[in-house]
Amino acid sequence: MPLALYALTAGAFGIGVTEFVIMGLLLEVGADLGVSTSAAGFLISGYALGVVVGAPLLTILTGRWPRKTVLLALMAIFIAGNVACALAPTYGFLMAARVLTAFAHGTFFGVGSVVATRLVPADRKASAIALMFTGLTVATVLGVPFGTWLGQAAGWRSTFWAVSLVGIAAFAVIAFAVPQDGKPESADDWRADIKALGRRPVLLGLLTTVLGYAGVFAVFTYIAPILTEITGFAVAAISPILLLFGGGLVAGNLIGGRLADRALVPALTGSLAALALVLLAMGPALHNSWTALVAVALLGATAFATVPPLQMWVLSKADGAGESLASSFNIAAFNLGNALGAFAGGLVIDVGPGLGWVTWTAALFPLVALAVAILAVRLDRASPATTEALDLELAR
């Protein structure tokens, strides 16, 4: 893999830390700002909604820019947003700062995914995307546990100062390693790109992404209270346990990329089915410390095994000229799923049957996503013209 891909991975690492680290600090943030755990959890929903709004908006606004310039501008927004989080005096200010930071997220991964696929041969595209997303998984393995420990030891604000420094380092690496490029092919025809997103295959792909990832975040958002209140782990154990989750993310992401390169549709449906099964099994597994640890690792693996297939599925359904916008919309779909999952988990905790039912509720989302994916595949196969166009696109 070319060096430029690892530069994209560095940027993904910084973004991954700021997205996920708040989950290990919900108790600290809530206590400091005087809000409930579920209200603190909505900081994740706010970030996700910021991605949903920012991804298509910034992709369109920066459509005439060289992609390297776009990536550097997004990292500058990321740094400013994290500094604002560290200085936040109130819950509302912190929410606004999280949304600002989130604006960089979707377009970075959307544009970065396209850049990644252009750097490798056709049969390595999903693996290239997986390598870039490895930045997210490594952030979970190393950055999030360290950030959680730092926030618990020195205050949650110190974590965001540290993430700001990570952003500065990522900016420098991208500036050095990512090659210069010209204006994107679709820069003068973004309206046609938006029109292309309205096609049925793309819309079904985006819906599959939303539903699949809602199940992950319905559980992961509240992983700290789940492990402390249901399984009985001490608060100090959360950071080491997140290492297991992160290890699962790394393995699942790379495996998902390899499988998607070999056979995209089986990788897509198989990963969604595996995620649903893990969430169903997680309910009873949480009542024993050893089985809970296994379940946490498997949740990480199945969660990110879905990412390369879902991203490649949407890219394969978009016209070549609309790749950046379609890719950014799919990142927005991931985060809309994050927001939906965090909201659904909060409802189960506050007005539903309680914390113990979160995993059971979460399993419904990937099951519905699997049904949508199967429907999309059948409709696609029923249309010879669509199938031929897909084959030609994949061959290119």
* Residue-wise pLDDT tens digits, 193-227: 666 666 777 788 888 888 888 888 888 888 888 88
Per-position DSSP letters for 320-372, written without gaps between them: GGGHHHHHHHHHHHHHHHHHHHHHHHHHHHHTSS-GGGHHHHHHHHHHHHHHH
Mean pLDDT of 12-41: 81
38 confidence band (pLDDT: 50, 70, 90): confident
Mean pLDDT of 122-131: 77
Structure tokens at 323: 């790749």
CA distances to 55, 193, 340, 384 from 376, rounded to whole Å, are: 24, 21, 22, 14
SS (H, E, C) 49-62: HHHHHHHHHHHHHC
Q: How many CB atoms are closer than 10 A to CB 235?
A: 15
294 confidence band (pLDDT: 50, 70, 90): very high
Q: What is the pLDDT of residue 93?
A: 92
* Residue-wise pLDDT tens digits, 46-79: 887 787 788 778 877 877 788 788 888 988 999 9
CA distances to 25, 35, 296 from 236, rounded to whole Å, are: 11, 21, 16
Tell me the whole-structure pTM to 2 decimals: 0.70
Q: What is the pLDDT of residue 322?
A: 63
Say if residue 73 is exposed, middle or buried (CB neighbours under 10 Å; 0-12, 13-18, 19+): middle
Between residues 81 and 382, which one has the greater pLDDT? Answer: 81
Confidence check: pLDDT of 84 > 90: yes
Q: What is the pLDDT of residue 318?
A: 67
Q: What is the pLDDT of residue 191?
A: 66
Residue for token digits 């700290």?
Answer: 224
The pLDDT mean for the chain works out to 81
Q: What is the pLDDT of residue 79?
A: 92
Mean pLDDT of 378-385: 67
Mean pLDDT of 227-236: 84
Lowest mean pLDDT among 131-140, 260-269, 380-389: 380-389
Q: Where along the chain do its domains lie? A: 3-179+190-395
161 confidence band (pLDDT: 50, 70, 90): very high
Residue type, 198: G
Name the superfamily (CATH) of residues 3-179+190-395. MFS general substrate transporter like domains (1.20.1250.20)
Spell out the residues 6+ positions from residue 103 whose beta carbon is closer than 8 angstroms to its own: 50, 51, 53, 54, 57, 58, 77, 81
